[in-house]
Amino acid sequence: MTTVETATGAAKTMVLNMGPQHPSTHGVLRILLELDGETVVKAVPDLGYLHTGIEKSCEDKTYSQAITLTDRMDYLNPLGNNLVYCLAVEKLLGLEVPKRAQYIRVMMVELQRISSHLVWLGTHAIDLGAMSVFLYCFREREEILKIFEMFSGQRMMTSYIRIGGIALDPPAGWRQAVQKFLSMMPSRVDEYEKLLTQNPIWIGRTKGVGYISPEDAIALSMTGPTLRAASVAYDNRKVFPYSSYEEFKFDIPTRTESDCYARYLVRVAEMRESLKIVRQAMEKIADEGPVKAEAPGIIPPQREKMKTEMEALIYHFKIFTEGFSPQPGEAFVAVESPRGELGCFVASDGSPKPLRVHFRSPSFINLQALPKLVEGQLIADVVACIGTIDIVLGEVDR
């Protein structure tokens, strides 16, 4: 803690170091706050504490191996990370994914969106002093994680979405499990709303806090619920549909207030929309059908074929020793992650390893607007503003 004299020498401000080990920074984020009394004059975020060089590591892996690295970026949205990377590689290869696999992907990423918003709501509420919401949110998130475990054998780092489709056929009894969740969840969302939406303390802590104008939000490249709470209905699922999203009926919730309260309302409304999408996806997913594209040399062959067909065995050996080589070129795909536009740029030089993998991570870019949100506000509102951007530091630093 140091005291700084301003240029005029009249008023004195103090620099307070917030983080990197601070419970409300949702990871290891450090912010240097210049304070005048309790008012924030200047905020300078300092990142990189969680930098793991995932983009560099991807360049040293084959295209299939790199999938497991993507899980670990945004650890609240691993399926979305898998999806954007696989879509980019599929685009590079010109690969068509079977419809059944596309619908399963949509269902999984929408469940993931709900679980991510639940973690956001729980931790955001706990930052602002509402302890019980956290427990309720994690109770429902547990149910989603159980569904993921059922599908992939993993709760978080699923690596379930693979190049050309998905890893496994849905397990027996998956319909009942998802149906059970769908029938339970709407009343649970009502429950959170009952706790918070009309709560005077919640309103006092969030309404009018962290305002950003739509023009500033676009100029600072913000996307996702933060942008939609500023009345800009920009959602990749509608504007640039991928993975058959154009066949689903859902709304894009927007608000005009552009404060922390509006962002809360947008995210809660998004959970309800995601439930609609999951319900439609369940109807669309056929009981039988392929879940992987037909592409020998890229998609590993079925186990049974390997035991009877010489060619299948050769392909299997080639895929896992050498990998496959897309033709030289570059592909960029953007999906709507729970936090905003998640993009993946893959460049190939014709070798089995990517020349470059770049992730346009929404947390990193949305965090850029934090000084704009907090400057001029009270120090207690900094916590509300960090929470409302919904950052995942694993994705910020990659």
What are the residues binding another protein (CB under 8 A)? 47-48, 51, 53, 55-57, 59-60, 91-92, 94, 218-223, 232, 234, 239-240, 328-332, 334, 341, 343, 345, 347, 349, 355-356, 358, 360, 364-365, 367-368, 397-398
Kindly state the smallest distance separating residue 76's Cβ from another protein, in Å: 20
> Shortest approach of another protein to residue 85 CB, angstroms?
14
Q: Which is nearer to another protein, 91 or 205 (CB)?
A: 91
Output the smallest distance, CB 234 to another protein, in A.
5
Q: Any residues with CB less than 8 A from the CB of 336 and at least 6 apart, and which?
A: 224, 235, 236, 237, 342
Q: How far apart (Å, rounded) are the C-alpha atoms in residues 290 and 188?
A: 35
Nearer CB in complex with another protein: 284/356: 356
Nearest distance from C-beta of residue 83 to another protein, angstroms: 17
Give the Cα separation of 48 and 208 in Å (integer): 31
Helices (H) and strands (E) in the chain, counts: 17, 9
**Residue number, 147 or 217, with CB nearest to another protein:** 217
Nearest Cα neighbor of 87 from 286, 271, 288, 236 is: 236
Closer residue to another protein, CB minimum distance, 191 or 216 = 216
CA nearest to 213, candidates 373, 325, 6, 10: 373
Contacts by residues 352-356 (CB-CB < 8 Å, ≥ 24 positions apart): 352/62, 352/63, 352/322, 352/323, 352/324, 352/325, 353/59, 353/60, 353/61, 353/62, 353/63, 353/323, 354/58, 354/59, 354/61, 354/63, 354/66, 355/59, 356/55, 356/59
Scanning the structure block, which residue is given the tokens 């068509």?
A: 96
CB of 56 or CB of 175, closer to another protein: 56
- Shortest gap between Cβ of 343 and another protein (angstroms)? 6
Shortest distance, CB of residue 247 to another protein, whole angstroms? 18
What is the pairing mode between strands 329-337 and 165-166? unpaired
**Cβ closest to another protein, residue 90 vs residue 140:** 90
| Residue closer to another protein (CB basis): 296 or 371 | 371
Minimum distance from residue 138 beta carbon to another protein (Å): 30
